[in-house]
Each structure stands twice: as structure tokens, then as C-alpha cells.
Amino acid sequence: MREKVDQLRQTALESLKQLHQPQDLENWRVRLLGKKGELTELLRGMGALPAEERPRVGQLVNELRAQLENAFAEKQKALQNELRRIKLQAETLDVTLPGRAAPVGGRHPLTLVQEDLCDIFQSMGFDVVDGPEIETDHYNFEALNVPADHPARDMQDTFYLTDTLLLRTQTSAAQIRTMESRKPPIRIVCPGRVFRADEVDATHSPVFHQMEGLVVDKGITMCDLKGVLEQFAREIYGPETKVRFRPSFFPFTEPSVEVDVSCSACGGKGCRVCKGSGWIEILGAGMVHPRVLAGCGIDPEVYSGFAFGIGLDRLATTRYKISDIRLLFEDDVRFLAQFEGGKQV
């Protein structure tokens, strides 16, 4: 019997050493120390012993049980420590690693152009104002000296919502709203979307962007208009930029001009961007028509003013060498990611 006890001790302790998983350890405990375990089995075998030997053997078995229980507890502790060590090692943080940057979107090329323009005009003392995209016929046409049957209405194909409501075809509506709500001296720019029923192609879109400018004060002349626009063109396209004024017609300005800048891509020699002419048309402008001033309650005998409307899409496409205006409206991230701050995602 003593041999049996010794043998069991040896195999039990030996097998305990080999264990590395908590589940195996538990199985070991059940197999040896459990209710139907090998120790219990051993005790049962005592029934066959002579009565005088039983207490001694009982003591041996109890000692073995105590020993195995201790070994089990120790092993359990060691295993727990080992597992914790492995877990901690796996969770080690290298606080010196650089952080993972969250992807940030870039600003749209039109936004970049618009912000630059606002900066330039604000530095010249202009306020930035906003106007509604749904306009009345009055603000978009009538008050700008374009009565209902005037042929100038054909210059712009209009989306009408009702007989009197429309999607603004020009930011010029902001001129009227401003002159109605402010007294001279007035210096404002108004950027925004405008709408015309144009066929879509590489240079036309039914939605595009303008920035209106308006200055009204005593003694404002065409020279002021030229000075402001030349300054703006040089800031946008560089100090070498030349500016050309061509006579034109708008119902709400008199005289009216269209303004070209020398092509920044070829320096005026002629290239694909400027279609060989060396010039790029970027805006319409003129001296505010006396009738428009008077209609807003501003005395044209006392005050004069100039206005301009810059096409922002053309500015963006020439500045960033974008060959097709439709790219500005398609929201393709591969396109948008190429601009400042943009990151391909």
C-alpha cells in the first residue's frame, strides 16, 4: 500500500509539472483529488487491509492529499502569474510611437478660391455678405434695370420656380438687397451659387459660382474700379499679371466692361488654357446705373458706384489647371484629395 501511495505521489507531481493551461490543471485536480478521483479510489482500497494497518495507511493517504493540494495551489498561483505576465506583455503600450492620424478632408478648390477672394477684398475694406439662392424676380431682374420684356433677359436662361420666384441667375441681386439695407459708403462682396439652364459640358454647368462686389460712395469713378480689380488680379494670379478692360453691356451698369487677365499658364503667349488668346475672361463689371441707385433710394446726383461679378469656377479651373468644370461638382474624392489639406482615403 505504501508503494502505491508513493507511486501515485510521483506520477501526480510529475504530471502536474507538465501542465500549462488552467483547464488542464482543473482536470488534474478532478482526476486526483475529486470525489471520484484516484485518492478516493486509494482510500477505498483500504477496506481490504487488516484493521491495525488502516490508521497508518490512512495517515499516509491524508498526507499525500495535503501534499497534492499544496502542489495544486502552488501550481495554480504560478500559472496565474504566468498568464498575467503574458497578458501584460501583449498589452504593452509604446508611448513613444507616433499617433495614428485621423483622416481629415481637404477643402474644395472652390472654397479655397472663395476664401482667398474674401481675404483679399476684406483687406481692402469690403464686408462679406450673404444672399438667398431663391430670389424674387424683383431682386434678380427688375431692380437691376431688367424689366419683364427686356431682351437682356435672354442673356440668362432662368429656372423659374413660380411666376415671381426663381433660382438666382447672378449674385447681382445682392447689390439691391445691400443698397436697400445699408447707407453709403457701401463696400461689400457677396459670394455664392448661381443657376442657369445651361447645357452641361466641359465649361458649362447649370450651377456655378460668382462673387459680387459693390462699392457706393461720393466721387467713385471708373479709376477706382480699375484699381481695385487690378489689385485683386495681381494678388490672385501674381504681380506680373496684366488686366484688360473690354467694353461690354449689362443693363445695371453704365458703362460696362468685361475684364480679362493675362493667362497665368503661358504668361500671355497663348496656350491651351487660354485657347491661344493669351487672355482669360474672369469677370463683368461697370459703374452702377443711375437708375439702379435711384431705385434703391440712393441719389445718383450725389453718389456713384461700381459693381463687378467674378466667375469663381473659371478662377478655380485656371488656378488649379482643372480641364473640366464638371470635376468641381462630382465629389470624387480622388479629385478632391489633390487640394490643400486633402488626403487620399
User: Using CB under 6 A as the criterion, which residues of the chain lie in contact with ligand PHE when the complex forms?
Assistant: 170, 172, 250, 253, 284-286, 307-309
68 or 292: CB nearest ligand PHE: 292
Residue type, 36: K
**SS3 annotation, 310-342:** EEHHHHHHHHCCCCCHHHHHCCCHHHHCCCCCC
What's the closest the beta carbon of residue 253 comes to ligand PHE, in angstroms? 5
Output the residue with the shortest Cβ distance to ligand PHE.
Answer: 309
12 or 190: CB nearest ligand PHE: 190
Q: Given CA atoms 84, 87, 90, 95 in this order, what sign does their dihedral have?
A: negative
Q: Rounded to the nearest 5 degrees, what angle is found at the Cα of 13, between the Cα atoms of 11 and 18?
A: 95
109 or 286: CB nearest ligand PHE: 286
141 or 279: CB nearest ligand PHE: 141
Beta strands in 137-252 (DSSP E): 165-167, 186-195, 207-217, 243-250
Asked if residue 213 lies in contact with residue 307, where contact means CB atoms within 8 angstroms, the answer is yes
What's the closest the beta carbon of residue 339 comes to ligand PHE, in angstroms? 26
72 or 250: CB nearest ligand PHE: 250
CA-CA-CA-CA dihedral for 204, 209, 214, 220, to nearest 10? -40
Cα(343)–Cα(175) distance, rounded to whole angstroms?
38
What's the closest the beta carbon of residue 301 comes to ligand PHE, in angstroms? 21
What's the closest the beta carbon of residue 189 comes to ligand PHE, in angstroms? 11
With both helix axes pointing from N to C terminus, report the angle between 38-45 and 22-33 in degrees, rounded to the nearest 10: 10
Cα(158)–Cα(197) distance, rounded to whole angstroms?
6
What's the closest the beta carbon of residue 309 comes to ligand PHE, in angstroms? 3
Find residue 215's DSSP bridge partners: 187, 306
Q: Give the residue carrying C-alpha cell 470525489.
A: 35
What's the closest the beta carbon of residue 188 comes to ligand PHE, in angstroms? 12
55 or 147: CB nearest ligand PHE: 147
286 or 295: CB nearest ligand PHE: 286
With both helix axes pointing from N to C terminus, report the angle between 222-237 and 312-319 in degrees, rounded to the nearest 10: 30
Among left, alpha and beta (phi > 0; psi -120 to 50; other), residue 278 is left
What's the closest the beta carbon of residue 268 comes to ligand PHE, in angstroms? 24
249 or 335: CB nearest ligand PHE: 249
What's the closest the beta carbon of residue 169 comes to ligand PHE, in angstroms? 7
What's the closest the beta carbon of residue 214 comes to ligand PHE, in angstroms? 8
Cα(177)–Cα(269) distance, rounded to whole angstroms?
42
24 or 258: CB nearest ligand PHE: 258
Q: Rounded to the nearest 5 degrees, what angle is found at the Cα of 292, between the Cα atoms of 286 and 297?
A: 135
Residue type, 249: F
